Each structure stands twice: as C-alpha cells, then as structure tokens.
C-alpha cells in the first residue's frame, strides 16, 4: 500500500538524473552500524528480563554496541560516501529535528506497549476488544496528518511540530493519572487527542529538517531520521517496560498495579516533553532558512521540504 503511494509520488516530485552513477555501498559502515544497533537494542531488551541495567546480560551487549557505533562514527567521518552522512549534524537545524524524531519515537512507540497491557492484564479485556480500544489513537493520527501537511506548507514544519509535540506530551498526562477503574470512554478520548498530537509531530519535524538542506542531502537525511525514530522507539519501549516492571514489582492490588502503569506513562510524557526545546530551535532555524531563501531568490524551501517529507513519510 505504501509503495503504491510512494512510487508515483517519487516519480512526480523527485528530480531524476539519467545516467547518474550511484555511490558504492559502504559495507564496513553497514556492518558496524547494523550490528551495533542490534547489540544496543538487545541489551536494553534484556534489562526488562533481568529488571536491572547493571546485569552483565544488559551492559555487556550495550557497551559492545556503543563501541561499534563509535567505530562507525569515526569511519563515516573519514570516507567520502559513508552509509549515513554524519556531517549533516553540523547543521543545527537537522540536529534539532533528529532529537525531535528520536525522543518522539521513544515516547510514542514506547508507550504503545503500555495500553494493550493495561487493557488485558488489569482490566481483563480480550485481545479483540483491546485492539478496538487502541483504535482511537490511530484515528486521531488519521485525522491530523492530512491537515498537518497543509499547515506545514503554510506555516512551516517547526511551528506545526511544536504544537504536535506539546499536544502529545499534554495528552499523555491523563494516562499518568490512570486508575484501575478509569472510564473507558475517557481513556479512549485521551487516546484520540494524543493520536492527533502524534499525527502533527512526525512529518512536520521531518519537513522542517529538509527545509535547510540541499536537495542532494535529502537522500542522506531521510534514512537517518527514520533510523533515529525507529531506534528511539526500540529504546523507549524497553525503558518503559523496565519502569513498568520495577514499579509493579510489589503491586498486589489493582490500584497499585494501575499506579505502576501511571508511573510508566509519566516517563513517556517526560520523553515527549524533551522534544519541545529542539522544536523551538527548529522553528528559529527554519525561519532563518526561509528568509535566506527569499533574499537570495532561491526555490521556496518550504515547498521543497513538504514534497520531500511527503515521499519520505510514504516510504517510512
């Protein structure tokens, strides 16, 4: 489905250069980064099993993964065509967007594990009913994402992303106050509005990142933002699972178990709130890029960024 949308968009919107020679694959970089990320993610996942970050099953793979990632960074900065162009992070605009994507991935995707567990383990709902009760969040995203694209084209990605991030953080607060018998309608309503915040966050943040980049840099920027978002989701899921396990270790009553879920959601709200500051940086950098483009008579960066962001979102 996504490819059926992405391929026509790519053909229509992305520039083509017939006969252009593609860069050779950075095999060493691919090996270092892929193994390093897997090791770090596996180590954090083991923290949920052992309920501790100090266990050797946790810190050994994490340390090994970080060493491999550090090796990739040194390698990428030394060669001409690395797997991921880390020189893009010299651009404060792109760096801010990267932080937004990572923290949102941790807060949003990490929290996705909490509500299904709450519905099934604490409220005793079936799998089918649990799936239906998590649908409002997806519906909220479906409502907002088309609007976010139009608003981004008009006002820029930074302001829209900021509103989305703030809404996501604020609408996570009701879940921090969750109880063993909290109204299902209230939780579904909060999930719907949280989904709306999420839908106004990801694509505008990516679009704002593209606004200060050259067209030739978009191909390197897109995979990096997607990787950061997915890695953030993996790490956020693990951290929230550990927080939930630790908070619920001595929970012998439904009220105590609900409090454990609330603690994990407060962590999720904090992760989303961390993205607010880079969103402010993003707004300022994007505004400066638009002014510079208009003064120099360059192509409108907002239009280019929205086009690139739409294709990237379809491919993600």
Query: Which residue, 33, 58, 83, sits at the end of a domain?
Result: 83
**How much is the average pLDDT of 236-264?**
89
Centre a 10 Å sphere on the Cβ of residue 178 and count the other Cβ atoms it contains. Answer: 23
Asked, for residue 228, whether it belongs to a domain, the answer is yes
* Total domains present in the chain: 2
- Say if CB 117 and CB 256 are below 8 A apart: no
Is the pLDDT at 258 greater than 50? The verdict is yes
Shared domain check, 64 and 111: no
- Say if CB 244 and CB 262 are below 8 A apart: no
Query: Which residue, 83, 106, 130, sits at the end of a domain?
Result: 83
pLDDT of residue 315: 40
Asked, for residue 6, whether it belongs to a domain, the answer is no
- Say if CB 84 and CB 33 are below 8 A apart: yes
Query: Which residue, 59, 83, 107, sits at the end of a domain?
Result: 83
pLDDT of residue 176: 95
Any idea what the CATH number is for the domain that residue 192 is in?
1.20.1250.20
pLDDT of residue 16: 60
Asked, for residue 215, whether it belongs to a domain, the answer is yes
**How much is the average pLDDT of 31-55?**
85
pLDDT band at 304 (very low <50, low <70, confident <90, very high): very low
Shared domain check, 56 and 98: no
pLDDT band at 302 (very low <50, low <70, confident <90, very high): low
Is the pLDDT at 25 greater than 70? The verdict is yes
Shared domain check, 216 and 169: yes
Is the pLDDT at 186 greater than 80? The verdict is yes
Asked, for residue 15, whether it belongs to a domain, the answer is no
Shared domain check, 103 and 64: no
Asked, for residue 136, whether it belongs to a domain, the answer is yes
**Domain around 111:** 90-315
Is the pLDDT at 308 greater than 50? The verdict is no
Shared domain check, 131 and 29: no
53: burial class by Cβ within 10 Å (0-12, 13-18, 19+)?
middle
Shared domain check, 289 and 254: yes
- CA 313 and chain centroid, separation: 12
Asked, for residue 238, whether it belongs to a domain, the answer is yes
Instruction: Answer with the residue of higher pLDDT: 143 or 95.
Output: 143
Shared domain check, 221 and 109: yes
Q: How confident is the prediction for the chain on average, in pLDDT?
A: 84
Shared domain check, 149 and 249: yes
**How much is the average pLDDT of 129-142?**
93
Q: Give long-range contacts, CB 8 A cutoff, 24+ apart: 218-222.
A: 218/308, 218/312, 220/84, 220/85, 220/88, 221/88, 221/94, 222/308, 222/312, 222/315
Shared domain check, 131 and 268: yes
Instruction: Answer with the residue of higher pLDDT: 211 or 249.
Output: 249
Q: Which residues of 270-306 are buried (b: 16+ CB within 10 A; e: fewer)?
A: ebbbbbbebbebbbebbeebbeebeeeeeeebbebbb
Shared domain check, 285 and 154: yes
Q: How many alpha carbons lie under 13 Å from residue 288 in its C-beta half-sphere? A: 12
Shared domain check, 103 and 74: no
pLDDT of residue 285: 73
Going 23 to 27 to 29 to 31, the CA torsion angle's sign is positive
Asked, for residue 5, whether it belongs to a domain, the answer is no
Asked, for residue 14, whether it belongs to a domain, the answer is no
**How much is the average pLDDT of 262-277?**
92
pTM score: 0.79
**How much is the average pLDDT of 143-150?**
91
Shared domain check, 221 and 157: yes
Considering 18-22, 24-28, 285-289, the range whose residues carry the highest mean pLDDT is 24-28
246: burial class by Cβ within 10 Å (0-12, 13-18, 19+)?
middle
pLDDT band at 133 (very low <50, low <70, confident <90, very high): very high
């Amino acid at each position: 489905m996504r490819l059926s949308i992405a391929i026509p968009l790519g053909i229509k919107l992305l520039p083509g250069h017939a006969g252009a020679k593609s860069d050779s694959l950075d095999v060493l970089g691919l090996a270092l980064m892929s193994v390093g990320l897997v090791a770090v993610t596996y180590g954090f996942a083991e923290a949920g099993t052992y309920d501790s970050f100090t266990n050797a099953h946790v810190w050994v793979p994490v340390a090994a993964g970080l060493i491999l990632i550090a090796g990739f960074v040194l390698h990428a900065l030394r060669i001409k065509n690395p797997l991921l162009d880390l020189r893009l992070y010299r651009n404060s605009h792109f760096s801010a967007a990267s932080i937004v994507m990572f923290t949102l991935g941790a807060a949003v995707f990490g929290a996705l594990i909490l509500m299904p567990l709450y519905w099934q383990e604490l409220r005793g709902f079936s799998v089918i009913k649990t799936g239906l009760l998590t649908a409002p969040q997806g519906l909220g995203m479906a409502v907002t994402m088309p609007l976010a694209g139009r608003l981004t084209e008009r006002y820029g990605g930074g302001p829209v992303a900021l509103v989305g991030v703030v809404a996501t953080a604020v609408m996570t607060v009701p879940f921090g106050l969750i109880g063993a018998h909290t109204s299902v309608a209230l939780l579904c309503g909060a999930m719907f509005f949280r989904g709306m915040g999420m839908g106004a966050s990801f694509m505008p943040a990516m679009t704002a990142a593209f606004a200060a980049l050259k067209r030739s840099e978009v191909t390197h920027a897109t995979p990096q933002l997607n990787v950061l978002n997915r890695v953030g989701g993996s790490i956020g899921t693990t951290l929230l699972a550990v927080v939930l396990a630790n908070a619920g270790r001595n929970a012998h009553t439904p009220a105590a178990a609900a409090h454990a879920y609330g603690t994990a959601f407060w962590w999720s709200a904090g992760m989303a709130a961390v993205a607010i500051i880079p969103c402010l940086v993003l707004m300022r950098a994007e505004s400066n890029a638009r002014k510079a483009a208009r003064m120099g008579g360059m192509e409108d960066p907002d239009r280019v960024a929205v086009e690139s962001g739409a294709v990237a979102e379809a491919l993600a």
